[in-house]
A and B are shown apart, each in its own frame.
Chain A
Amino acid sequence: MSFVGLSPFWVGAGLVALSVLLYLMQRLRVQYREISVATTLFWRAAVQEAPARVFRQRFRHIWAYLLILAICSCLWIAFAEPRWDGTDDRERYVLLLDGSAGMARGDVFERTVGQLKKDVSSLPANRRRVLWVGGQVSTLLASGEHGLLLDRRLESMAPEASRSTMEKELRHLAAVSRKDETTTVLIYGNSPVRQVVLDLMPAHYTVRRIAQAGYETGNSGITALGVSEAASGLWDRVDVLVKLENDQDRSLGPGNVAIALNGQPLEGALSIESSDGAFVLSDVPADGGLLEVSLLGDDSLVFDNHAQLRLPDRPLIKVQLSPSLSSLQSVLSADPALMLTDQAPDVVIKRKGEDIGRDIPTLEFVPQAEQETSFKLIYPGDDDSAEMLSTAVQALGLAQIDATAIAGASQKTISVSAEGGDEWRFAVWGELLGDEYNFVRSRSFPLFISKSMRWLAQTRKWHPYVAAGYPLMTRGFNGRDVLGVRYVPAVAGSEEGLTVSLLDSSVTSGSVKSAADLELADHGASIDTGNLGTALLLVTLILLSVEWCLYQKGNIP
């Protein structure tokens, strides 16, 4: 049991109990130490006028009593660490040290850490804990640990190039809160917290901020870096969006950044459009290169001055066309993503039975009599065929085919099926190429061919943007964006095959929409009992020495 942080009432009660206990001990029967001596002749003579203390005798040793009472009182107060601010004995303190990128401005972090250390020393050790809230949340000082450990652990800590996870941690604290513990959460840092997050906190939780004056402004940063398919339609090109922000009303544009692709400056043959600090780099080669954007000049925060993104790798799809299907050549040539070739093709288009493109993804035209459904997807593996079919109908553009017209013209039911197999293959009735179906002349036919080629080639997935701490978005071969469960690493840099950038508007601007105004904590709320405890222990030591001397001299029993 520890008595750390008792209220004055309990400290006083303890003192009274001690004095009563010691008083009784003075009056109760003495516990003698037995010693064998050669003779008691002289002792008998000595004690005739001063007999030994007996049960409930007159209170004789007032100074001895006062001395032992002083020693016990000092020890009691030193261990009890009384709190004179009237706070609840059960109140807990959670100190959250902001380690996000925003704390790297000027010397904010150093000043905040200084304040944190000071406050930690003034709080009862068993009712406070300190958490690091950077890219990840970790415990800096657990309950009961000595405050000196914090100094050593903070030596290796510095703000990280991460967005603030303060709100996330507050949500976590709210989720694990205990009803019987009044808790004060002290935020050491400038990460904004929205009111909606504060509303989640339990009623017995109080959130305060230890503010640091002199918040340094004048910061600019890159807050968005994303890529999309080129508006020009070029398959092997992409458009890149760059957005710049600052915490003042300064307009920013392409002239404020240096852009490099694979380490080489990206020259201005590319068209650039600018509005509100955002601009687009058009038709950037989509060859898997590393695009780096750096803000020119220095400012108060370095983490958001540099961003980078791995561009998609989108080579042309090489298609081998069977001579028997030369009528499709014009359609294929019109697609800029496709390249007709007989060398190492990615996809083959043929009729069934033709001996070309073995083991290569194939668009195959089969006789109607040999295939029950009009369109049949065969894919490797044993994935759910219904899900695969649903995805493929969109990816192949089948939803845009005028199936009713085709069915009317052919007097056949138009249907789609999918099944697992050993290879990628898209089997279509060959009769659909005939005039009676009017499919070839339809506007959806070129789209159907183009999408079929992309689906069969299984073009590589790519990430439209990679921002630290956000979910990873992936754009697949079917053109759909998938927001995966995988999170981008919380700290900017290269990790796990991803090139991660900070890209956080709240860090750059130092504010967030609907951020709540947190009540500022009063640093001096608790008395510093650490020094008092040390002083009392020293006094105790001195009193013990005095008692020892008096005891040795025989002045006290």
Chain B
Amino acid sequence: MAAVAPTLRELFDPDFLKALQLFRLRARRVAVGGRHAEQDSSGMGYGLEFKDFRPYVAGDDLRAVDWNIYRRLGKVVVKVFEEQQDLPLYLMPDVSRSMFLEDPPRIHSALRVSLALAAVSLGQHDSIGLFPFADDLQVRVKSMSGKGGVMSFARHLSQLEERGQTELSTAVKRFSDMSLRRGLLVIISDFFEAGGVARVLDSLSGCRHDLLLIQLVRESDAKPAPVGDVRLRDCETNEVVNVSVTAEVLNRYREAYEDFSEELATFARERQAGLLRLDAEQDVLGQLGSLFESGVLRI
């Protein structure tokens, strides 16, 4: 029997959210075109950080004119400041059937880490979006900002339901087609797509957003428990594989799983994307600590 997503009460844990206040999410440079916020952007304009001087042109704000230079040199120049804007954070949690299988189900960790990242972003005036996916992409929250939005976002998370099979490649393609402002795309999934991980990575390579891949794993993925003659039924595709489990078969299984993991890690390294392997059977907060080095995650 499949598990259900955690309730709002289970998800909106005050202690959990309080602990997240120590974390910060810092982008090297965000794309211009957003709202004023705390992230450094490539744009020049009004901000707190002085950047340069330039000659006055008609239309410039008179408050930016440096009157001291005008008094000494008689030239009218204006001060230019580095513009600080928000970082769009796009969360794509996997809600396929495999995320709801086993005990505890991976969806519990997926939702908690989604909430954690959302709370950190909202706390630093960034905007967030929620795009759960399974065999298709859903747009639950396109853009949300403000510290007060944590509760609302948690409610959205608690309402997520189990859907079909994992089609991450399709979901990424649809997401790319949405022409959203460049930001950080966080994919939270087991990455078990029937077509293989190569197809997923192909679709991700064309994505123009920064990437953070959070792979939900458990010990039995690498060391499966079944022994003897077993009929393994894929919970998403209902595909059946008859296996007489022997040491030889187990070795080959481990090799296949290691290839999968290595492929994912190589992609992340080459794409300069972040990759976090999160154990679904362990506490989420403790594992996030390793992601936010000194409390700050730099992307």
A-side interface residues toward B, CB under 8 Å? 30-53, 551-557
Beta-carbon contacts of B211-254 to A below 8 Å, as 1s and 0s? 00000000001001011111111111101111111111110110
Bound form: Cα–Cα A30–B245 in Å = 12
13 extra A-B contacts, CB within 8 A, seeds A35-B226, A37-B232, A39-B234 = A34-B233, A37-B101, A38-B102, A41-B196, A43-B243, A43-B253, A45-B256, A50-B244, A50-B248, A50-B252, A52-B242, A555-B246, A557-B229
Q: Of B229, B236, B257, which one neighbours A42 at CB under 8 angstroms?
A: B257
Residues of B within 8 A of A39 (CB): 98, 190, 192, 194, 234, 236
Subset of 15 A-B contacts with CB under 8 Å:
A34-B233, A36-B233, A39-B192, A39-B234, A40-B233, A41-B194, A46-B252, A46-B256, A47-B249, A50-B252, A52-B243, A53-B229, A551-B227, A553-B247, A557-B244
Residues of B within 8 A of A44 (CB): 241
Q: Which 9 A-B pairs have the closest CB atoms?
A: A32-B231, A39-B192, A46-B252, A45-B256, A52-B242, A46-B253, A38-B98, A42-B256, A40-B234
Bound form: Cα–Cα A187–B98 in Å = 77
Bound form: Cα–Cα A557–B255 in Å = 20
Residues of B within 8 A of A45 (CB): 252-253, 256
Are the CB atoms of A554 and B246 closer together than 8 Å?
yes
**B46 interface residue, CB < 8 Å from A?**
no
CB-based nearest B residue for A555: B247
Contacts A44-B241, A555-B246 hold; do A38 and B101 have CB atoms under 8 A apart?
Answer: yes
Contacts A42-B257, A50-B249 hold; do A557 and B228 have CB atoms under 8 A apart?
Answer: yes
B-side interface residues toward A, CB under 8 Å? 98, 101-102, 106, 190, 192, 194, 196, 221, 224, 226-237, 239-250, 252-253, 255-257, 260
Bound form: Cα–Cα A551–B101 in Å = 26
Are the CB atoms of A38 and B233 closer together than 8 Å?
no
Bound form: Cα–Cα A41–B250 in Å = 14
Contacts A42-B256, A46-B243 hold; do A33 and B229 have CB atoms under 8 A apart?
Answer: yes
CB-based nearest B residue for A48: B252
Residues of A within 8 A of B228 (CB): 33, 551, 557
Bound form: Cα–Cα A557–B243 in Å = 10
Are the CB atoms of B244 and A30 closer together than 8 Å?
yes
Q: Of A37, A41, A53, which one neighbours B260 at CB under 8 angstroms?
A: A41
Residues of B within 8 A of A40 (CB): 232-234, 237, 239-241
Residues of B within 8 A of A38 (CB): 98, 101-102, 106, 190, 192, 221, 235-236
Most chain A CB inside 10 Å of its own CB: which residue of B101, B234, B257:
B234
Are the CB atoms of A42 and B239 closer together than 8 Å?
no
Residues of A within 8 A of B226 (CB): 33, 35
Residues of B within 8 A of A556 (CB): 246
Residues of B within 8 A of A555 (CB): 246-247
CB-based nearest B residue for A44: B241
Bound form: Cα–Cα A41–B245 in Å = 15
Bound form: Cα–Cα A30–B246 in Å = 15
Bound form: Cα–Cα A190–B30 in Å = 114
CB-based nearest A residue for B226: A35
Bound form: Cα–Cα A247–B102 in Å = 90
Most chain B CB inside 10 Å of its own CB: which residue of A44, A553, A554, A555:
A554
Residues of A within 8 A of B260 (CB): 41-42
Bound form: Cα–Cα A41–B241 in Å = 10
Bound form: Cα–Cα A36–B226 in Å = 11
Are the CB atoms of B98 and A34 closer together than 8 Å?
no
Residues of B within 8 A of A53 (CB): 229, 244
Bound form: Cα–Cα A36–B224 in Å = 12
Bound form: Cα–Cα A406–B227 in Å = 119
Residues of A within 8 A of B255 (CB): 46
Bound form: Cα–Cα A141–B244 in Å = 52
Are the CB atoms of B234 and A31 closer together than 8 Å?
no
Residues of A within 8 A of B246 (CB): 50, 554-557
CB-based nearest A residue for B234: A40
Are the CB atoms of A34 and B256 closer together than 8 Å?
no
Are the CB atoms of B235 and A47 closer together than 8 Å?
no
For the complex formed, measure the closest distance between the CB of A48 and the CB atoms of chain B, giving whole angstroms: 8
Most chain B CB inside 10 Å of its own CB: which residue of A37, A44, A51, A53:
A37
Bound form: Cα–Cα A45–B249 in Å = 9
Bound form: Cα–Cα A49–B256 in Å = 13
For the complex formed, measure the closest distance between the CB of B258 and the CB atoms of chain A, giving whole angstroms: 10
Bound form: Cα–Cα A551–B229 in Å = 11
Residues of A within 8 A of B253 (CB): 42-43, 45-46
CB-based nearest A residue for B252: A46
Bound form: Cα–Cα A45–B190 in Å = 18
Bound form: Cα–Cα A43–B250 in Å = 9
CB-based nearest B residue for A41: B192
Are the CB atoms of A34 and B234 closer together than 8 Å?
no
Most chain A CB inside 10 Å of its own CB: which residue of B192, B232, B233, B248:
B232
Bound form: Cα–Cα A190–B273 in Å = 101
Q: Of B229, B234, B249, which one neighbours A46 at CB under 8 angstroms?
A: B249
Bound form: Cα–Cα A34–B229 in Å = 9
Contacts A41-B196, A42-B253, A557-B246 hold; do A552 and B230 have CB atoms under 8 A apart?
Answer: no
Residues of A within 8 A of B221 (CB): 38
Bound form: Cα–Cα A316–B9 in Å = 116
Are the CB atoms of B230 and A33 closer together than 8 Å?
yes
Bound form: Cα–Cα A40–B166 in Å = 13
Residues of B within 8 A of A52 (CB): 229, 242-244
Bound form: Cα–Cα A556–B245 in Å = 8
CB-based nearest A residue for B2: A36
Residues of B within 8 A of A30 (CB): 229, 242, 244
Bound form: Cα–Cα A318–B163 in Å = 123
Are the CB atoms of A37 and B244 closer together than 8 Å?
no
Bound form: Cα–Cα A26–B196 in Å = 35
Are the CB atoms of A36 and B101 closer together than 8 Å?
yes
Are the CB atoms of B235 and A36 closer together than 8 Å?
yes
Residues of A within 8 A of B234 (CB): 37, 39-40
Q: Of B231, B236, B244, which one neighbours A35 at CB under 8 angstroms?
A: B231
Bound form: Cα–Cα A299–B260 in Å = 98
